[in-house]
Each structure stands twice: as structure tokens, then as C-alpha cells.
């Protein structure tokens, strides 16, 4: 991104708030539709006679198509921003919804999951760039607003599955194509704004930029640590987003609908945590947020497998609230390490997050088939210990004003 582009948010101030609101709302629509896939796993498991391994493969297909494409798309749009790629991405999500609603076989379910992943991979890098442009200099806050839309949308999936899809059947997924159409219209208007304000011009070719006060090697090691933190976060979260419903049904003998509502409690708390992480990072430093988020969640993950139903629901909400506050801080931390590479950084970290979630779901699904769904939560409880690597991150707040 050129210097002139980076300066726009500071000059425009609050005039860009509607743009930030639009991309956040479309993030809500995008992630709401994406979240319907794991939310309907009980329907798919019974309707297609799937085992946990096959459910994990569905998640892996979705997450891998999202993760592999995002860094490539982000790097390409850093060199040549594509404002109208956003409605194109939403179009792939629309096709994925229709495919999942109408698929007569497991193979076509995988195809629908892949279309959802492609849509997500196109949407996130460029939408994250626009959120940063519309930040008014408050990058953590803007990233949190953007993430809040996505997380709140993701939390709606279980409720929609419980009260709309379960009563009306899998075919009712096709109605959510209307949400995708609304997203296409809004993102088309955002694309026009993006182009008319000069942000879609091709930046001049430059060498990669790194943080001014750190060596290239130090920047690379810091990025690697941040990726490991993303791994710990999303590998653990895969156990909840993909299998929490089955855990509650198996261990506490809950109905599908009740388990969906309990999953919403976790996802809703995650949305709140996502929003809180960015502003707190702007105020107190992003490394402090990472310490509190990823390391602070360890006692709760270790306790969860041994609790009764009420305590399990409370602990899941605490885990969602605490662990989700990290991602906005991680993305902005990486963007400060690599200024001028907003699209590439966003694509890399969103993509890696999706990839780790997919691999986690596949691995944990196989583990559940070999052992039990309860045993999965005993194993993943230790994954957040990877967060101790936060100690090796540089303290950027001492070097630059946030």
C-alpha cells in the first residue's frame, strides 16, 4: 500500500465509519452462512450416515480451500487491489449454500463445503484491508469491529439451525442465498467507493517492508510465533465449533436443539471477546492482550472436561470470551511488523486460522472415532500451553506509538 493510501483514514476521520460498518455487516453475513455448515452436522450425520472422520473431512475441505487461497489472494491484491473481488467472493458463498441444500451425496456436500471456503478466501483479505483504511488510525478498534461482525454472524449459525433448519429440513439452507444476494449488493457499493476514492490504483513496486527497528530475522521469528499462537487458538476452537454439540448430546444427553443453543452461548461470548481485544490492545498493548487471552484461558480448558452441565456451559462462555480476544491483536501486531503488506498479512493469518481449524477438526474427528468424544476434550485442553511462546515476541509498543 502506498503512503498516500495509508494516510486516507487519518484525513477522512469518521466519514469512513459507514464503510467500516458495511464491511463488518457483510462479514456478519459471510460468517453466518459459513457457520451453518458445522451447525447442521447433526442433520448431515443422520441423513448421510456419516462418522466423525467424515464430518472432520467436511470441515477440512472447507477450511483448506479457505486457507490455501487467502495468502495468495492477499499478496495479489497488495500489488493490485481488486475492489470488486468482494461481491465475487460472496457469489461463491451463495453457490455453496445452494449446493449444501440440494446435495444428494457426500461428494457434493464436500463440493459445497469447498465453495464456501473459496468464498471466504476471496472475501477476507480485501475486506480486512478496507477495514484498516476506514480505521481513522485506530487499527485495533477497526479490526475488532470487523471481527465482531464475523464472530456475531458465526454465533447465529446454531440458532438458525435449531429454530429454522431443523424444523424445515436441509433444503431450507437455500433460503440463505438471499443473505448472500444482500451481501453482493452491499459489497458492490463498497467496491464503487473503494475505486472512486483512488484506493484501487496499482501501487508502485517496492521491496517488502519490515518493521523499521527490527531486523528481518527478528520479524520472521515474530511472525512465526504469531502463527503458532493462531495454531493453538484455532486447533482448540475446532473441538468446540465442530464437536461441542455432539459432546453435549453424548455426555449430558441433550437434544440437538438444546445443544445448538448452548453452542450459541459459546459463540456469542467469542464475539464479545473478539470485539474487546482490539480496543484493549490499542490502549494497553497487543502483547499484553495475547498474554491475557491465550495463556489466561489455560485453567479453564483444563477444567472443562471434568465439569457438570451448568459448569461446562459457563466455562465454554469464559473460554470463548478470553481466547477470542487474541485474534484482532495478532492480526494488527503482524500488520505492524510488516507495514505495507495489509492484504498479504490478513490473507496469511486468516488463511492459517482456517487451515488450522480444518486440520484440527479432521484430526480430532479421527481421534473421536478411535476413542470417544469425551477423550478429545481431555487432549485439546493442553493445546493453549503453546501460548507461552508469547514471551518471545518483541515489545512493539516501546518502539512505535500505537
Q: What is the pLDDT of residues 33-90, one digit of tens each?
A: 988 988 888 889 888 998 888 988 898 888 788 777 777 777 776 777 777 888 999 9
- Beta strands of 11-163 (E only): which ranges? none
- What does the pLDDT read at residue 304? 96
Instruction: Please answer whether residues 131 and 23 qualify as being in contact, where contact means their C-beta atoms are separated by less than 8 angstroms.
Output: yes
Only one residue has cell 448421510, namely 48
Nearest CA to 270 out of 306, 244, 252 is that of 244
Give the rounded distance of the alpha carbon of 264 from its chain centre: 16
How confident is the model at residue 15, as a pLDDT?
Answer: 55
Q: What is the pLDDT of residue 12?
A: 39
CA-wise closest residue to 129 among 67, 41, 191, 55: 191
Say how far residue 242 (Cα) sits from the centre of its chain: 14
* Angle CA 8–12–17, to nearest 5: 110
- Write the DSSP assignment of 154-199 as a string of letters: HHHHHHHIIIIIHHH-GGGGGGGHHHHHHHHHHHHHHHHHHHHTTT
Q: How far is CA 69 from the centre of its chain?
A: 15
The count of residues in the chain is 402
Neighbours of 388 (CB within 10 A): 14
Q: What is d(CA 359, CA 365) in angstroms, rounded to the nearest whole number?
A: 10
Burial class of 167 by CB neighbour count within 10 A (0 to 12, 13 to 18, 19+) = exposed
pLDDT of residue 343: 67
Nearest-angstrom CA–CA distance, 257 and 19: 36
* Residue tagged 495463556 (cell numbers): 295
Low-confidence ranges of the chain (pLDDT < 70): 1-15, 77, 137, 197-212, 278, 342-343, 354, 397-402
The whole-angstrom separation of Cα 133 and Cα 279 is 17
- Of the candidates 155, 30, 24, 151, the residue with the CA atom closest to the CA atom of residue 89: 30
Candidates 333, 226, 318, 335; CA nearest to 272 is 318
Q: Tell me, what's the pLDDT at 9?
A: 40
DSSP state of 339: T
What is the C-alpha to C-alpha distance for residues 341 and 125, in angstroms, rounded to an integer?
11
**Domain 12-398, CATH:** 1.20.1250.20
Three-state SS sequence of 269-301:
HHHHHHHHHHHHHHHHCHHHHHHHHHHCCHHHH
With 0.85 as the threshold, say if the pTM is over it: no
User: 380 near 301, Cβ under 8 Å?
Assistant: yes
Q: Nearest Cα to 294, choosing from 217, 387, 372?
A: 387
When the pLDDT of each residue in the chain is averaged and rounded to a whole number, the result is: 82
Do 223 and 338 contact (CB within 8 A), yes or no? yes
First-to-last CA distance in the chain?
19
Please report where in the chains the cell 457457520 appears, as a residue. 35
| 328 and 274 Cβ atoms separated by less than 8 Å | yes
Residue 112 confidence (pLDDT):
94
Q: What is the pLDDT of residue 197?
A: 66
Amino acid at each position: 500500500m502506498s503512503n498516500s493510501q495509508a494516510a486516507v483514514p487519518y484525513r477522512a476521520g469518521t466519514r469512513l465509519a459507514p464503510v467500516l460498518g458495511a464491511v463488518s455487516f457483510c462479514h456478519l453475513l459471510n460468517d453466518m452462512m459459513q457457520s451453518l455448515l458445522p451447525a447442521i452436522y447433526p442433520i448431515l450425520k443422520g441423513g448421510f450416515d456419516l462418522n466423525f472422520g467424515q464430518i472432520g473431512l467436511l470441515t477440512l475441505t472447507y477450511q483448506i480451500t479457505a486457507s490455501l487461497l487467502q495468502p495468495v489472494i492477499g499478496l495479489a491484491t497488495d500489488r493490485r487491489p481488486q475492489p470488486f473481488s468482494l461481491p465475487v467472493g460472496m457469489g461463491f458463498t451463495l453457490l455453496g449454500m445452494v449446493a449444501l441444500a440440494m446435495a444428494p451425496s457426500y461428494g457434493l456436500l464436500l463440493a459445497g463445503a469447498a465453495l464456501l471456503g473459496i468464498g471466504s478466501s476471496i472475501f477476507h483479505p480485501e475486506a480486512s484491508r478496507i477495514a484498516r483504511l476506514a480505521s481513522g488510525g485506530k487499527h485495533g478498534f477497526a479490526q475488532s469491529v470487523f471481527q465482531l461482525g464475523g464472530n456475531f454472524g458465526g454465533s447465529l449459525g446454531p440458532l438458525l439451525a435449531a429454530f429454522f433448519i431443523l424444523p424445515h429440513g436441509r433444503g431450507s439452507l437455500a433460503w440463505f442465498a438471499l443473505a448472500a444476494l444482500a451481501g453482493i449488493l452491499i459489497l458492490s457499493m463498497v467496491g464503487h467507493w473503494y475505486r472512486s476514492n483512488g484506493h484501487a490504483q496499482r501501487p508502485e513496486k517496492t521491496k517488502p517492508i519490515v518493521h523499521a527497528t527490527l531486523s528481518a530475522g527478528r520479524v520472521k521469528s515474530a511472525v512465526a510465533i504469531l502463527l503458532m499462537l493462531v495454531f493453538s487458538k484455532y486447533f482448540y476452537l475446532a473441538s468446540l465449533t465442530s464437536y461441542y454439540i455432539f459432546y453435549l448430546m453424548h455426555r449430558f444427553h441433550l437434544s440437538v436443539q438444546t445443544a445448538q443453543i448452548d453452542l450459541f452461548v459459546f459463540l456469542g461470548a467469542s464475539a464479545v471477546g473478539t470485539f474487546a481485544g482490539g480496543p484493549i490492545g490499542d490502549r494497553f498493548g497487543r502483547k499484553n492482550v495475547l498474554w491475557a487471552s491465550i495463556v489466561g484461558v489455560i485453567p479453564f480448558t483444563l477444567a472443562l472436561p471434568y465439569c457438570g452441565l451448568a459448569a461446562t456451559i459457563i466455562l465454554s462462555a469464559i473460554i470463548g470470551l478470553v481466547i477470542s480476544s487474541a485474534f484482532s491483536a495478532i492480526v494488527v501486531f503482524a500488520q505492524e511488523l510488516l507495514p505495507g503488506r495489509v492484504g498479504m498479512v490478513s490473507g496469511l493469518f486468516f488463511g492459517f486460522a482456517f487451515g488450522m481449524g480444518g486440520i484440527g477438526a479432521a484430526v480430532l474427528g479421527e481421534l473421536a472415532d478411535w476413542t470417544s468424544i469425551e477423550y478429545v476434550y481431555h487432549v485439546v485442553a493442553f493445546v493453549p500451553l503453546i501460548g507461552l511462546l508469547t514471551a518471545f515476541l518483541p515489545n512493539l509498543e516501546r518502539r512505535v506509538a500505537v
